[in-house]
Amino acid sequence: MSDVQTFLDRLAERTEARRQAHGQEPTWIAARRQAGAARFEALGFPDRRVEAWKYTDVRAIARGDFALTDSAEFSPASAAALTLPIAAHRLTFVDGVFSAALSDLGELPTGVAVLPLSQALAENHEAVGGPLGRLTGVEFSPFSALNTAFMEEGAVVRLAPGSVVEKPILLQFLSRANAQPVMSHPRVLIEAGARSQATVIEHHIGESEAANFTNLVDEVMLDRGAILTHYKLQEASLKDLHVASIHVEQGRDSRYTSFNLNLGGSLVRNDLVVDLNGKGAEANFNGLFFAQGRQHVDNHTLANHNAPLTFSNENYKGILDDRARGVFNGKVVVKRDSQKIEAHQSNANLLLSDRAEIDTKPELEIYADDVKCSHGATTGQLDEEAVFTLRTRGIDEQTARGLLTLAFAGEVMERVELEAVAERVELAVAGKLPERFNLSGLVEAAMSLHDD
């Protein structure tokens, strides 16, 4: 039985079970599922001859046998330990299933709706049918097709024109250690109306023995002047498989800022695609990936400058230890007649081990002449002279290296405005370093340096 067939069989079982439990779905959903399944069947899982997957082998996913679950049980105590300590409007999903018990939306400002996809569909499926699939069609990748075929749950965030959400909206995805690995295909829709403003945090985390497959699709629409900050903090277990496709569409004068922070997962692939469709739109991509052991983290970003006077800025940092492998592929496309563009891209990587590997490819595709575009990519190790300088100050070598590694990550982290997220990442990076990188020691060392 082929890998693809395993997934198609699961889909057939699921469709049948759903029909018996809930009756027929609206025709548009059924039609899209069918299109997704057909597309997935036609494409199959990508092999490494496909340029976009040249460095990433997805056989760990293709050969898996993942169940689907309907249970959202999770110990409240351990959930609390995993939850970000931050005042937020929170929706929680366990293995892709909505958990009302672990969610706490609090009081949302008027004109703002945050609800699980299933509820949004039940209330008014037609209002979901319009935006859903508009940005991420089944054509994008086999994984987006798979998501379309399977999607049942996820989140819908709607911001009315002019609304401002003070507290962040937290979408929490918990992964359990199941007897049989499960898969989930969350679909997140964010519609930010004109001049609305919000921060959305997507937090992927779970039990340390979890070995599930998450196949996420986000569709984000920013109307005129909308401002959205989108954190994706991925600290799944080291056995989790994580594939995410994030599509953003930006109207005139809108601003989208992404923080794509990857710490966990055994196989991680993120696709971030932004269409800058209105004059004055600005997109900022900040990324950090820290991988160790045999982790594989792949980040693909694409900024399409479809309108004149649009701006994009990208800064991705990779830290790779042990036998980890990192992939970065950033692409900027400037369409014909999109003049007065500024697009800057930077990817810096730090290799901490001889067996770590990074494959990076910053691309530019430019069809207009009045542009300022640049990209840079560097890969190196810790600066031995900097290590030496710290050592002359009486800091032992290991602490010096730890400090410098943190400083390397710091360039992206200092733009993170949410303390809870920044601390989480810094602690994770420092905590994940071997025992010798004692964080309190580092802080002391930094303090004493400061005193000098």
Q: How far is the CB of 383 from other proteins (least distance, A)?
A: 10
Residue with tokens 């290799």: 351
Residues 169-208 contacting other proteins, CB under 8 A: none
Q: How far is the CB of 51 from other proteins (least distance, A)?
A: 7
Using a CB cutoff of 8 Å and minimum separation of 24, what contacts does 163-166 make?
A: 163/109, 163/110, 163/111, 163/112, 163/193, 163/196, 163/197, 163/198, 164/109, 164/196, 164/197, 164/198, 165/89, 165/108, 165/109, 165/112, 165/196, 165/197, 165/198, 165/199, 166/109
Task: Give the per-residue contact string, 133-152, with other proteins (x = CB under 8 A; - = no).
Answer: --------------------
* Cβ–Cβ under 8 Å, residues 293 and 353: no
Q: How far is the CB of 362 from other proteins (least distance, A)?
A: 6
Closer residue to other proteins (CB): 19 or 355 = 355
Closer residue to other proteins (CB): 51 or 166 = 51
Q: Which two tokens stand for residue 56?
A: 């990433």
**How many Å is the Cα radius of gyration of the chain?**
22
Closest CA to 179 of 216, 146, 207: 207
Task: Give the per-residue contact string, 349-388, with other proteins (x = CB under 8 A; - = no).
Answer: x-xxxxxxxxxxxxxxxxxxxxxxxxxxxxxxx-------
Closer residue to other proteins (CB): 370 or 419 = 370
Task: Give the per-residue contact string, 3-22, with other proteins (x = CB under 8 A; - = no).
Answer: --------------------
Closer residue to other proteins (CB): 303 or 422 = 303
Task: Give the per-residue contact string, 242-261, with other proteins (x = CB under 8 A; - = no).
Answer: --------------------
Closer residue to other proteins (CB): 2 or 381 = 381
Q: How far is the CB of 177 from other proteins (least distance, A)?
A: 33
Q: To which H or E segment does residue 15 belong?
A: helix 3-22
Q: How far is the CB of 398 from other proteins (least distance, A)?
A: 16
Length in residues, the chain: 452
Closer residue to other proteins (CB): 130 or 380 = 380
Distance, CA of 117 to CA of 123 (rounded, Å): 10
Instruction: Identify any residues that bridge with 67 across adjacent strands, giving them in sequence order.
Output: 182
Q: How far is the CB of 356 from other proteins (least distance, A)?
A: 6
CA atoms within 13 A on the CB side of 304: 12
Q: How far is the CB of 107 from other proteins (least distance, A)?
A: 49
Q: How far is the CB of 349 from other proteins (least distance, A)?
A: 7
Single-letter code of the amino acid located at 194: A
Q: How far is the CB of 369 from other proteins (least distance, A)?
A: 4
Residues 326-345 contacting other proteins, CB under 8 A: 336-337, 339
Q: How far is the CB of 290 from other proteins (least distance, A)?
A: 15
Closer residue to other proteins (CB): 207 or 314 = 314
Using a CB cutoff of 8 Å and minimum separation of 24, what contacts does 71-75 make?
A: 71/95, 71/97, 72/97, 72/98, 72/99, 72/101, 72/102, 74/99, 74/102, 74/174, 74/176
Kindly state the DSSP code that residue 180 receives in the 8-state scheme.
S
Q: How far is the CB of 373 from other proteins (least distance, A)?
A: 4
Closer residue to other proteins (CB): 165 or 352 = 352
* Cβ–Cβ under 8 Å, residues 294 and 268: no
Q: What angle do CA 402, 405, 411 make, to 5 degrees?
A: 140
Task: Give the per-residue contact string, 222-241, with other proteins (x = CB under 8 A; - = no).
Answer: --------------------
Residue 20's CB is within 10 A of a number of other CB atoms, namely: 8
Residues 22-61 contacting other proteins, CB under 8 A: 51, 55
Closer residue to other proteins (CB): 209 or 370 = 370
Closer residue to other proteins (CB): 10 or 279 = 279
Instruction: Write the CA distances from 262 to 267, 278, 296, 351, integer angstroms.
Output: 11, 30, 11, 16
Task: Give the per-residue contact string, 289-328, with other proteins (x = CB under 8 A; - = no).
Answer: ----------------------------------------
3-state helix, strand, coil in the chain (%, to 5): 30, 40, 35
Closer residue to other proteins (CB): 167 or 323 = 323
**Interface residues toward other proteins, by CB under 8 A:** 51, 55, 336-337, 339, 349, 351-381
